[in-house]
Structure 1
Amino acid sequence: MQGLLRRGAIWALVATLVMGAHGAAAQTGGTAALQGQVMDEQGGAVPGVTVTAVNAATGLTRTTVTGGTGNYQFVSLPPGVYEVRVELTGFRTAVYESVPLGVDSTVRLDARLQIGALTDTIQVVAETAVINTTDASLGNVISGSQIRELPLEGRNVVGLLSLQPGVVYVPPTGATDARSGSVSGSRADQSNVTLDGIDVNDNQFQDAFTSVLRVTLDSVQEFRVTTSNYGADQGRSSGAQVSLVTRGGTNAFQGTGYWSHRNTATSSTPYFTKLSQLRAGLEPTPPKLNKHIYGGAFGGPIRRDRLFFFGNFEGLQESSEAPVNRAVPSMSMRDGVLIYLCASAAECPGGSVQGFSSSHTVPAGSFGVGPAATSRIDPLGVGSSLAASQYWKQFPEPNDPGRDGRNIMGYRFNSPIENRFRTYISRLDYRTAASNSIFGRFNFQDDAVASAAQFPGQPSTTTRTV
C-alpha cells in the first residue's frame, strides 16, 4: 500500500512538472507583462534599443529590442521585482530599479534616453502608475507582505479576496447558498481560480474562491482578483478571475516559523444553545473552539541563478464542539403515551393519561392515548410496546421542543470534535537557459475529519482521511 502511495506521489509530481512547463509556454495566466516606449530627449521614438529585464531575486534575464516605433514588450514574466536596463550606442544607459510586476498585470514603463557614452549610466527609481492604463481590467494585486502581515482568522488566504471592491465573501456554513461568495452579484460557482496559471477550480463543491488544492498563507507569493473587463487571456467563467502564485526559492536563503492559537474564551454562546442550557438550569457555556496552527517555510538556492527550492508545512489541530439537536422521544411517549393536537380545541379540555409507570398531563386542546387505549385500538390487541418503552428510556431526556413538542422532541448538546489537518507544499524552479525556466509544484494533504456524535459519550459517527 505504501509503495502504491509513493508511486502515486511520484506520478503526481511528474504531472505537475509537465503541466508547469506546458503552462509556461501555452498560456499567460499567473504571469506578468511589461511594455513601454523608448524615446529620445525630444520625444522622438528610438528603434533598435536593447531592453533587458532582470529579476532581482533569481537573476532571470529577458532581452528584447524596440521596433520601428520605439515600442517594446515582455510577456509571461514571473511576477516579482525587476531591474530594467535600456541601452543603445550613442546614448547613456538608463537603469530602472525596483520595477514591481504583479500577477496578471501589465505594467507600462516608458524610457527617455539622453545623448552620451554607452558606459554612462543613469539610475532611475521606477514609479509605476497606480491606475491601470494598459487595459480595461479591474482588480488589485495583494502582495506577499500584505498576505502575511494582515490579521486573518484561521490564516485563510481566501479572507483577503473580499478586500476588492464589489467582492463579498461569507464563510461556508453547511447550507447551500449560490451567493455565499460573489463578485458584483455573480454566482459563487462562476469564479475562475488558477494556481501558477493552472486551473484549480473545485468542480465538486463549487464554493466561491476555493481552490481544489489547499493554499496556505506562507506558500502564496501574491494573488490578484480581476473583477471585470478581463482580457481574452482570461475567462472560462463569467465571474471573477482569481490568480494565485506559489512562492519559489531565490538566491537568498529565507525561512519562517509560526504558531497561532484561537481560544474558546473569546467565543459567545449560540442563542438556541443558551436557551437549552438555561432550561436545564445550567450556566450558558459557548461551544468549544480551539485552533492551534503551526508550521514553517524555507527556501533558497540549490545552485545560484539556476536551481531553487521552496517548502512549506502547516498543521492545524482543531478542538471544537458542534451544537447538535437530536430527535428523542418525549417523556410521555417513552412511557407509552401518545399526545395528538385536536382539530377542535373546544372538544379537548385536556387532563391526564396513565402510562406504563406514571401519569402524564395532557394540555388543553390535545388528546392523550395511553397503553390501555392503544391496546383497544390495535386489531391484534397489543397496543403500546413495553419493549419499545424500555428502549426509548435509554435516550437522553429532551431539553428542546423539537419536532412537535409532544411526542418527538429535541435534545440539544455540544458534541466534541477533534480534527487534524496537515498540508505539505513544495516547489522546485530550474532555469534551463538565461531566459527559459520550468518549475514543479507538489501538494499533499493529510487530514482526519470527524463529524458530530449522535449523543453525548458516543464516538464520532464518521472519520475520513483525505
Structure 2
Amino acid sequence: MTRVRPSTIIAGLGVVIIGLAASLAAGQSAQSASLVGRVADESGAAMPGVTVTLKSPALQVSQLSAVTGAEGDYRVLELPPGVYTVTFELTGFQTSVRTDVHLTTGSAGRVDAMMKIGALSETVQVTGLSPVVDTVNVAGQTTLVQEQLRSIPMGGTMQEMLPLAAGLSMQTKPDVGDSNLASRSAIITYGVVLQATLDIEGINTVTAHDADTAVYLNSFALEEAQFKTSGNNAEIAFPGVAQVAVMKSGSNAFHGSARGSYENPKWQGNNVTAELAAQGITNPNPIVDPGFYDYNFDLGGRIVRDRLWFYGGTSQQSVKQGQIGFVAAPNADGCWFASCGGTTPGTTAQSLPQFNWKVNYQVRPTTKLIASQFSAVKHHSTMGGAGQLRPLPSTTFQRQPDQTWKGEMQSAPRNNLLLDVIYGYGGYHTHYIAQPATQVSQYGFPDGTDVKGNPSSIELSNNLVYGPNESVQDRPQNRYELKATVTYIPSEPHLGGTHQFKIGTTDDWENAGTRVLEDKASGDYQLRFSRGAPSQIVVYNFPFATSTNTLLGQAVYVTDTYTLRRVTVNAGVRWERYRNFYPEQTKEAGQFSAIFPARTYPRQDVLTWVDTVPRVGAAWDLTGNGKTVAKASFGIFGDTMGDLYSNAFNPNGQATQTYSWTGPCLVTQYRNDTFNDTSCDVTPQFLATLPSLTPLSATGGINSVINPDLKQNTTSEYTTRMERELIPNVAVSAGYVYHRILNNYNTNLQLLRPYDTWIPAAGTFADGLTGSPVTIYTYPASEVGAAFNVLKAANAPTDRPDTYHSIEVAATKRYSRKWTGAASFWTTKNHRWITGNSSGGNGNTPQSPNDDRFAVDDTWTWEARASGTVNFPMDISLSSSYRAQSGEREQRTQQFSAASSVLRQGSVTLRMGEYGEYTAPTVQIVAIKATKRFGLGQGRFFELNFQVFNALNASGITSINRLTGPQFGLATGIVSARVARFGGGITF
C-alpha cells in the first residue's frame, strides 16, 4: 500500500482549515438524516419558541432539542437513521407527540405540528405518520433500510441493491441468486454510463475514472444504503449515481445476529430452450459442487452507556459455477467453441470474505468521534474476460484484498453550528497470475499455462484467444480522502426566509499502477493468425514492475438551502481541481530490451483540470401540507480524468509494437493455431530481426504525446419531478431527466495519420453476410514507419455531444398495515456516438472514414422494477421482486485483415449495420422469498427462509455474438436458471 507523507496530510489539513475559515454553509452529511417542520396554532399562525425534542434508540445521547424560530420553523441536522419520537412543548399549550417517525439516510423528513391551548400535562399523540415526501431535497433518491435488505429476495452484494433504485441498471446480465458474485460492472444511470461515487461511511471508494467500484462489500453489515440518481447538489462531484453505504452501529442495548444460506446444485433448474440447445448450450450458469453458501455473524452494543458503542461482524460468500460458452478444453477435433460439441465446460470459483467494525464515542453531548473499517479479500479463479472467446487456460487467477477505513469527528459548538471532519482510505490491490497447474493440469497444462512453447495467440477471424493471458497484471489502487464541512443556520430570517449554509472541502490523494512484474515464460508477445495463417506479432515491454501514477484532487463547495414559505431553493457552486502526473520511475530490462530499453524516466505533469460549476434546484410544496411537491433542478458536472489517465502517457506503463509476421513456425507441443489445430510459435531467428523491422502500429506511453489543452468532459443535467403523498405512507412520483455530455475524449488517436490522409485500400473486400463490396480505408505509404506511430488525446467536436432523454414514474409504500412495496418504470431515448474500433477512432472522434460507419446509437431502452413484502399471522412473511428490461440492442461487426501492403494497419473491425438492427427479447426476472420467525423470548428470534430466484425459469438472452463469422448470432449471455436457496438465522 502506498503511504501518504505527513507533509501531504498537513498540507491537506491546511487547505481545509483555510476553506472553513472562509465562510459557513448548511445541510447534513450524506450518511445522516434531518428533520424539518413548522409549528402553528389552531388558526394557522406561526408559533415561535416551541421546544422540539427528539428521542430514539439510534441516538447516543438521551435526546436532542431545537426551538422554533420566528416563523415557527425548526431544523434538526445530523440525525442517525432510525425511528424517532418527536415532542412539541410550549407553556399554555397541550403537548403534541409524533411517534414512529422513520428517518432514512440523506432524507429531510418533515413533521409539522398544530398546537392547541391547554396544559402541558395534556398530551395529543399521533402514531405512524412518517414523512414519505421530501419537501427540501430535490435529488431523485432511493433508500433501502435494513428491513428491506433482509426481506427482498436478491443477491447479497452492493451491486445487487442497485437495480432496486429507480433509474439504475448494470452493464451486465441480471443477477440470479448471486450468480454475479464478486463481479463488477459499469453502472448505468438513466441510460448513460457516468462517473459514480460510493461513499462507505463517508469515504468515496470509486477510484480512477470508473463507473463502478472494485472495492467489494455485501449488505450484511449495512444499516441503510442510499442511491441518489439525479438532481444532486454541489456536495456531489460527478454526474453518476451517488451511493451511500451506512454501517450498523452499536447501541445501549446489545444486539446481533448469526445467519447463513445455501444453494445446492441439485436445486437449480435448466432454462435452455430448444433454440439455445441447438447452439450447443447445455446450461448457462450451472452451479457445481460445493454450490453457493454464505454466512455472517455480527454483534453490537455498549462499552459505556450513552458514551462508547461498538459494532463488529464477519461474513463469507462463495460459489462455484459454469458460464455459457466457457470452455476448459477443446473437443477431439481441436475446436474450442461450445457449439462444436464435445468440449469440456469450464467453471469459475468465487469467494468474498469480509470483516468490519465500528466504534462511536460520545465525548460530550456536542462532540462525537467515529471510527470504522470494512475489509474484504476477493478470490476469482477465471478473471481476464472468461467466456466464449477466452477459454479457461487464457484467463487469470485473481486475489484482491481491499479495505475502507475512516476516522470522523462531529461537533456542534453552538445549536446552529455544526462541524464534520472525516479522514480515511478506500482502495485495493489486485494480484493476477497466469492459470497455475492446480487449475489446468487436467487439461494438458501440467506446469500451468505460462510455459515456454505455449505462446499467447489469437485467431483474428473469430477473436478466439489461446495460451496464457497476454498481460498478467498487478494493480494497486489507493485513495486517501479528507473531507470537512461546516453547517450554519442563522437564528434570524434573511431575505424573508430561513437559510442553511454549508461550506465543504474535499482533498483526495490517489495513486495507482497497472504493472507487469516479470517476463512471461511463454514470451512477451502475442501471435495473431488470420484464418490459420501467421499474420502479425504484438510484442510487449514487460516487465514494468515500478509503474505508478498519481492524481491530486481538491474541491471546495458552498451551498444554501433557502426556504421562503412553501418554496425551498437549493443553490450551490463547486470549484474543483484535478492534477494528474507520474513520478520519477525506472523501467527494468526485459525480453525485448532492444525495442523497449531499460531507463529512468523523470517526473512528468500530464494534465490539470480546473472548473467551477453551478447547481440549483427548487422544491415547491404546492399545498403547504408537505404532501404534494413540485421539483426542478439544473446542474453542470465536471469529471475526473482518473489517476490512471497518465498511464496512457507513462513510458513505464504497458506499451506494444505490432509487426507483420508470416512465419516460419516453430512447432511445439501446444496447438496454439486454433483455426488449423496445429502448433505454430515464432522462431528465435525472427524475434532477433524485430529491432530492424518497421512496426505496423504502436501503443503505450512511449508512443504518446501529452495534450495539456485537453478539455474536461462535462455533463449538463436538467430534471423536473412531481411527488405526491396519496394516502399516509404511500407516495407516487413522475419525472423527466435530460443529460447532455460535451468534450468526450479519445486517448488513442494517431496524431501523424490525420483523417484527411486515409485512402481506400487497394484490395477487394466483401461483407461476409451479404456479399456486398466493402470499402476500407488505410493510411498512405508515405505514413508508414515507426516515426508515425504517435498517439495523442483529443476531444470530440462540440457538434457531437451525447444526449439522453429519460422519463420515469414510481410508487412507494412505506411499511404499514402489514405490507410495504415499491415499483418504478423508466425509459430513455439515446443519442450516443459509438466508441470502439481497431483503428483507434470512435464515432465522435473518428481516426478515419472507417469510424464514420453507422456511428450513432439512436435507440430507446426501458426498465421496470417492483418489490414488496407482506406480513401474515404467525410471523410468516412473503416477499417478491420483479425486474424487466428491454432486450439488448446489437450491432453487427466484421473483422478484415490483409497483407500490410494492402491494409497497412494490418487488420480492422468495421461496423456493418445500424446500432439496434438486432434486438434480443425482453428480459424478465421474478424472485420470491418466504420467511417464518419463531420467538425465543427477550427480543430473540429464530428465522427460517426459503427463496427462489428466477422463479419463472426465464431464459432471457442478454448478449449475442454479432461478429460476422461462424459464431454470428450465437448467444453469449443468458440469465441463470431458476435456483432455490434455504437459509436461517438467529437475531437478538
TM-score by length of 1: 0.67
Change (3 A) 1:46 1:31: same
2:318 aligns with 317
Paired with 2:374 and 2:285, the residues of 1 have a C-alpha distance of: 39
Give the C-alpha shift of residue 413 in structure 1: 2.1
What whole-Å deviation, never above 9, does each CA across 1:271-313 have from its counterpart, x for those lacking one?
Answer: 99977989xxx99994636212112122122222222111121
Q: Is the 8 A contact 2:53 2:64 kept in 1?
A: yes
Is the CA contact (8 Å cut-off) linking 1:29 and 1:198 kept in structure 2?
A: no
2: CA distance, partners of 1:275 / 1:144: 45
Structure 1 residue 157: deviation in Å? 3.5
Of 318, 322, 333, 1:398 maps to: 333
User: How far apart, in 2, do the equivalents of 1:298 and 1:126 lie?
Assistant: 29
Corresponding residue number in structure 1 for 2:252: 251
Aligned length: 365
Deviates more, 1:282-291 or 1:446-455: 282-291
Gaps of 5+ in 2: 7-12, 18-25, 174-178, 383-391, 393-438, 450-471, 477-988
- Residue by residue over 1:7-33, the C-alpha shift from the partner in whole angstroms, topping out at 9 and shown as x without a partner, is x9xx9xxxxxx9xxx9xx996111111
**Aligned AA for 1:288?**
V
Contact 2:27 2:77 in 1 (8 A): no
Name the residue aligned to 1:446: 377
Match of 1:62 among 61, 64, 71: 64
Q: SS of the residue aligned with 1:162?
A: helix
Q: Quickly say closer, same or farther: Cα 1:399–1:207, change in 2 above 3 A.
A: farther
Contact 1:183–1:239 (CA under 8 A) maintained in structure 2: yes
Partner Cα distance (2:83, 2:93) in 1: 25
Cα distance in 2 for residues equivalent to 1:230 and 1:446: 32
* CA deviation string 1:219-246 (max 9, x = no partner): 111122122123333x211122222211
Bigger radius of gyration, 1 or 2?
Answer: 1
In 2, the alpha carbon distance for the partners of 1:42 and 1:288 equals 70
Deviations 1:173-229, CA, capped at 9 Å, x for gaps: 99xxx9853121121x4222212232122437x354x4x543322211112212212
Is 1:203 equivalent to 2:203 in the alignment? Answer: no
Counterpart in the other structure of 1:194: 199
Alpha-carbon distance change, 27 to 120 in structure 1, aligned in 2, over 3 angstroms: closer
CA distance in structure 1 between the partners assigned to 2:110 and 2:283 by the alignment: 63
The 1:263/1:170 distance shift into structure 2, 3 A limit, reads: farther
Task: Indicate whether 1:125 and 2:122 are aligned.
Answer: no
Q: Equivalent residue for 2:115?
A: 113
Structure 1 residue 117 displacement after superposition: 2.4
Change (3 A) 1:327 1:450: closer
| Structure 1 pair 119–232 and aligned structure 2 pair: CA distance change class (3 A) | farther
Task: Say if 1:51 and 1:181 are closer, same or farther in 2 by CA, change over 3 A.
Answer: same
Question: Is the Cα contact below 8 Å between 2:86 and 2:99 reproduced in 1?
Answer: yes
Cα–Cα, structure 1 residues 246 and 326, in superposed 2: closer, same or farther, change >3 Å?
A: closer
Q: As a proportion of its length, which structure holds more helix?
A: 1
**Which residue of the other structure, out of 359, 364, 381, is the alignment partner of 1:433?**
364
Contact kept, 8 Å, 1:449 with 1:463, in 2: the verdict is no
Distance 2:296 2:334 in 1: 42
Residue 277 to residue 70, structure 1, CA distance change in 2 (3 Å): closer
- Aligned partners of 2:219, 2:316: CA distance in 1, in Å? 12
SS of residue in 2 equivalent to 1:429: strand
- Matches of 2:283 and 2:220 in 1, distance apart? 41
Residue number in structure 2 paired with 1:28: 29
Question: Which structure has more strand as a fraction of its residues?
Answer: 2
- Could you say which residue in structure 2 is the equivalent of 1:366? none
Distance 2:160 2:320 in 1: 22
Give the 3 Å change call, closer, same or farther, for CA 68–89 of structure 1 in structure 2: same
Partners of 1:37 and 1:80 lie apart in 2 by 21
Query: Are 1:185 and 2:191 an aligned pair?
Result: yes
Q: 1:236 to 1:464 in 2, by over 3 A?
A: closer
Displacement after TM superposition at 1:410 (Å): 11
Q: Cα RMSD over matched residues?
A: 4.1
Matches within 5 A, 1:271-350: 286=286, 288=288, 290-321=291-322, 324-325=326-327
- Name the CA shift for 1:237/1:441 in 2 (closer, same or farther; >3 Å): same
Closer, same or farther: CA 326–27 of 1 in aligned 2, 3 Å: same
CA distance in 2, matches of 1:103, 1:131: 14
- Supply the distance in 1 between the matched residues of 2:115 and 2:284 (Cα, whole angstroms): 74
SS at 1:248 equivalent: coil
C-alpha spacing 1:26/1:39, structure 2 compared with 1 (3 Å): closer
Unaligned residue ranges in structure 1 (runs of 5+) = 12-17, 329-395
Q: Which fold has the larger relative contact order, with Cα–Cα distance below 8 Å and residues 6 or more apart in sequence?
A: 1
Offset at residue 402 of structure 1 (A): 5.8
Q: Which SS does the other structure have where 2:220 is aligned?
A: helix
Deviation at 1:106, TM superposition (A): 0.6
Rounded Cα–Cα distance in structure 2 between residues aligned with 1:243 and 1:76: 15
**Change in 2 beyond 3 A, CA 1:325/1:301:** same
Q: Summarize the alignment of residues 33-44 of structure 1 with structure 2, pairs less than 5 Å apart.
A: 33-44=34-45
Structure 1 contact 55–80 (Cα < 8 Å) conserved:
yes
1:424 aligns with 2:430: no
Q: Which residue of 1 aligns with 2:140?
A: 138
AA at the equivalent of 1:307: L
- Structure 1 residues 304 and 464, CA, compared in 2 at 3 Å: closer, same or farther? farther
Indicate how the Cα distance of structure 1 residues 249 and 41 shifts in structure 2: closer, same or farther if over 3 A, else same. Answer: same
1:254-273 aligned within 5 A: 254-265=255-266, 266=268, 268=270
**Contact residue 254 and residue 298 of structure 1 kept, 8 A:** yes
Displacement of 1:42: 1.6
Distance 1:291 1:186, change over 3 A: same
* Residue identity in the other structure for 1:218: F
Q: CA separation of 1:287/1:48 partners in 2, compared to 1, >3 Å: closer, same or farther?
A: closer
Once residues 416 and 179 of structure 1 are traced to their aligned partners in structure 2, the CA distance between those partners, rounded to angstroms, is: 20
Match of 2:442 among 456, 462, 465: 456
Aligned CA distance change for structure 1 residues 269 and 202 (closer, same or farther; 3 Å): farther
The one-letter code sitting in structure 2 at the alignment partner of 1:182 is: I
Name the counterpart of 1:386: none
Q: CA deviation at 1:56?
A: 2.8
Give, as a single letter, the amino acid of the residue that structure 1 aligns with 2:35.
Answer: L
Q: Is the 8 A contact 1:291 1:319 kept in 2?
A: yes
Match of 1:356 in 2: none
Query: How far is 1:171 from its partner?
Result: 4.0
Aligned position for 1:345:
none
Against the structure 1 CA distance between its residues 45 and 283, is the aligned structure 2 distance closer, same or farther, given a 3 Å change threshold?
closer
Contact 1:29 1:196 in 2 (8 A): no
Counterpart code for 1:253: F
Does the aligned pair in 2 maintain the 1:49–1:66 contact within 8 Å? Answer: yes
TM-score when normalising by structure 2? 0.33
Which one of the candidate residues 327, 345, 365 is aligned to 1:414?
Answer: 345
- Could you tell me whether the CA contact under 8 Å between 2:258 and 2:296 is conserved in 1? yes
Q: Larger deviation: 415-424 or 288-297? A: 415-424
Partner in structure 1 of residue 541 of structure 2: none
Map residues 56-95 of structure 1 onto 2, 5 A cutoff. 56-60=57-61, 61-95=63-97
Match of residue 103 from structure 2: 101
